[in-house]
Amino acid sequence: MKNLFFLLAFLISTVSLAQSRTPRTFLLVHGAWSGGWDYAQVDALLAAKGDKVYRPTLTGLGERVHLSNANVNLSTYISDIVNVIRFEDLHNVILVGHSYGGMVIAGVAEQVPDRIRQLVYLDAMVPNDGESAKDVCGPIWDALMVPHIKDSVMTYPFGPTKPTPPMDVPQPIKTYTEPLRISNPRVGNIPTAFIVMTKNGKSDSHTDAMGLSRARARNWKIYPFEGGHYSMREQPENLVKKLELVLGK
């Protein structure tokens, strides 16, 4: 009975908090081979706080796997997200990109910087002008990625995937090889943070060059986060808490 009382009190306080503040708008961009499904639990947790959450799936991945074709490239993905912002008429967006999704949100910021309140690179790639995801990968590309290229796609390189949905699926190779042009000076005015996943307090030295070292060079705020690369799958509650910390809540 006592536990039930505390549960009810918690739920009431959560609802009251959600009703007492202006909802925030989150636009969550998943990583390679993934889909909007990856953020389902994070979506539910943020929505319970009263926030608006969008977690679109990039063309040819997730539930849109039937649209996969050899012509899908990075520009396609950037358009996927820019069009969500424009057609949903979103403003003051908290734009989060996980892993490969860093390539996408960097391109989105180039096109609609006035719509973005905060950029969050979640253990993500941080491209320079003229770089593709292949370029950002550096030596990891040949060592890890190339063996998984089959025809016009790259299959998931980190072990076997689930046999049934939701699951990681092959991704069109042009999404990795198309370079991104970065030149919009207004992007520099957007508050930007980098969340780096750590193990025993240390980041992965093999992947630091893809994101963390680039974030440091840009003087972005760095937030260590203990755990594996897929925090939205493995610890969604803690990811939400980390996002709150980034946003100063």
Instruction: Report how far residue 206's alpha carbon sits from residue 224's, in angstroms, rounded to the nearest whole number.
Output: 16
The percentage of the chain sitting over the pLDDT mark of 90, rounded to a whole number, equals 91
Is the Cβ–Cβ distance between 124 and 102 less than 8 Å? yes
Residues 16-27 pLDDT 10s: 555 567 999 999
Mean pLDDT computed over 181-186 = 97
Those residues whose C-beta lies under 8 Å from the C-beta of residue 130, and which sit 6 or more positions away, are 179, 180, 181, 182
Predicted local distance difference test score (pLDDT) of residue 17: 52
Predicted local distance difference test score (pLDDT) of residue 42: 98
The percentage of the chain sitting over the pLDDT mark of 70, rounded to a whole number, equals 92
Instruction: Report how far residue 163's alpha carbon sits from residue 166's, in angstroms, rounded to the nearest whole number.
Output: 9
User: Pairing state of beta strands 93-98 and 25-29?
Assistant: parallel
State the average pLDDT for the chain: 93
Mean pLDDT computed over 86-98 = 98
Nearest to 218 by CA among 106, 135, 141: 106
User: Architecture of domain 23-246 in CATH?
Assistant: 3-Layer(aba) Sandwich (3.40)
Mean pLDDT computed over 94-114 = 98
Residues in the chain: 249
Predicted local distance difference test score (pLDDT) of residue 21: 73
Predicted local distance difference test score (pLDDT) of residue 65: 98
Predicted local distance difference test score (pLDDT) of residue 7: 41
Annotated catalytic residues are 99
Q: Does the pLDDT value for residue 64 go beyond 60? A: yes
Phi, psi of 183 (to 5 degrees): -150, -5
Q: Does the pLDDT value for residue 30 go beyond 60? A: yes
